[in-house]
Amino acid sequence: MAVTHTFALGREQCSQQIEKLTNSHILHSSESLCKLLRYLAEHSLDHPGVSLKEYQIATEVLGRPPGFDPQSDSTVRVQAGRLRVKLAEYYGQEGANDLIVVELPKGSYALNFHLRAARPGESVLPQVVAVEHPAPEMTPPTTRPSSLAIVLLSFLLAASLVVTGVLLAQRNHPAVATTGEPIAPAFQIFWNRFVNGPQQPWVIFSNGSFVGRPETGMRYFNPALDTKESFILDHYTGVGEVLAIHQLDRIFALFNHPVGVKRGALFSLDDAKYNDLIFVGSPSENLTLLDIPGTQDFVFQRLTSGPRKGDLAVMNVRPEPGEPKIFLATPANQATVEDYAVVSLLPGLDPSRSILILAGNSTFGTQAAVEYVCREPSLQELLHRLKVTKPSELKPFEALLHVKIAHGVPVVTDLVAVRNRAN
């Protein structure tokens, strides 16, 4: 039997909306979330009303083995929660004028597709979910116009007028960053000093020194093994730093404030004297951090003895009761599933300037540190722990994060410890 789609909101329109979402600034950088979104959309459109199991998602989308146990592994729930947040973020910013809204209700893995509810002064369109119905049996043609055809044509005309109005509105309004939309209080408090300075802040990202060739293999430059004449490659950086800069760019776009980006090898002390600085990447790669005052409570350091000799760790210089002295990520010779990261606000060389350090043991930890201060819920948590309610109360601090990683993506980030420090 042939199949036809609901006229108002069919499969093609829903699929186009999914592609629009995956290509958006908010989602396109997260391959795992885009893959999950496409999978949920395909299932929801092909099997409306049929619920998905966590096991299916884990094994078919997230690459989990057949022995996956949803009771002990929350990866699916975590990823679904991240996707839910991203969808809400998209429709609050880029997709504010999209006609089709895609939602992932809590407690469910079935997507909802519906037409956006009309705002005051707009014509109200019926909200119709995308469903499939058996095609009706053919009936002999009649000479009288079908009432259904009249209804459908009327609806099509109304829909076209609404679409035209939306497109015109988009042409007549500037981008999201300049529309004056409310900025979350947490963002205003935390980023105040970086968006109100006399000079644009600089984002300094790590780019380690390598020897070798890309086609035959590269490794970190080791001064104990490599000569000064070795050809050094200093223009590579991790995926976490790349995605982190994208997140920071989004934050500064909210404030419509320019920000400069510079790789660590090109950083100079003049930058530290006259600009607010945001360092992205650990001192093991961002060596310029060694030239300026750094963290005092949570310090990156390579172990010089023991079974993990040579691995980078975060040293807890002044541990409080119950805290370990050393925080170790996944061993360097294994796939990274756990990392630690530091978020630290420090005074600059010029006391009127500030330095923000966002660094992990690995590139994934660095990404998690940046995402932590670029997302409203986690930033609210940090400000609450610091007991800060307005910009003037935010003083230098150091915070330690524990990061869980799945398939190269930070999925859970927990605030482990916070230290206030003197200027």
Closest CA to 374 of 246, 262, 211: 246
Q: How far apart are CA 231 and CA 68, in angstroms?
A: 46
Residue 102: count of CB within 10 angstroms of its CB? 22
| Per-residue pLDDT tens listing for the chain (423 residues) | 333 333 346 788 888 899 999 988 888 878 888 899 999 998 888 888 777 888 889 888 888 888 888 887 888 888 888 899 889 889 888 888 888 999 998 888 889 888 876 555 544 444 434 433 333 344 444 444 445 544 444 544 454 444 444 444 443 333 334 445 688 999 999 999 999 887 889 998 887 777 787 777 777 777 777 776 667 777 777 888 999 999 999 999 999 888 889 887 777 777 777 889 999 987 666 655 655 567 889 998 888 898 898 888 999 999 999 999 999 999 878 888 999 999 999 988 888 899 999 999 889 999 999 999 999 999 999 999 999 999 999 999 999 999 999 988 999 999 999 999 765
Distance (Å, whole) CA 420 – CA 285: 26
Strand 326-328 versus strand 298-302 pairing type: unpaired
Rounded Cα distance between 156 and 43, Å, is: 27
Tokens (6 digits) for 408? 């190269």
Architecture per CATH, domain 185-420, reads as 2-Layer Sandwich (3.30)
For the chain, give every residue range classified as CATH 3.30.379.10: 185-420
pTM score above 0.85: no
Cβ atoms of 238 and 341 within 8 Å: the answer is no
- Token pair, residue 219, equals 């490794």
d(CA 340, CA 346): 19
pLDDT given for residue 401 in this prediction: 96
Strand order in the sheet with 260-263: 260-263, 202-205, 277-280, 354-360, 338-347, 397-406, 409-420
Q: Give the pLDDT of residue 136.
A: 39
Nearest residue to 181 (alpha-carbon basis) of 293, 95, 118: 95
Token pair 């948590």 is found at 381
Q: How far apart are CA 407 and CA 409, in angstroms?
A: 6
CA distance 300 to 326: 10
The per-residue pLDDT for 391 is 94
Q: What are the residues whose beta carbons fall under 8 Å from the beta carbon of 364, sequence distance 6 or more?
A: 240, 336, 339, 403, 405, 408, 409, 410
Cβ proximity of 292 and 368 under 8 Å: no
d(CA 180, CA 255): 9
Predicted pLDDT at 126: 40
pLDDT number for residue 180? 53
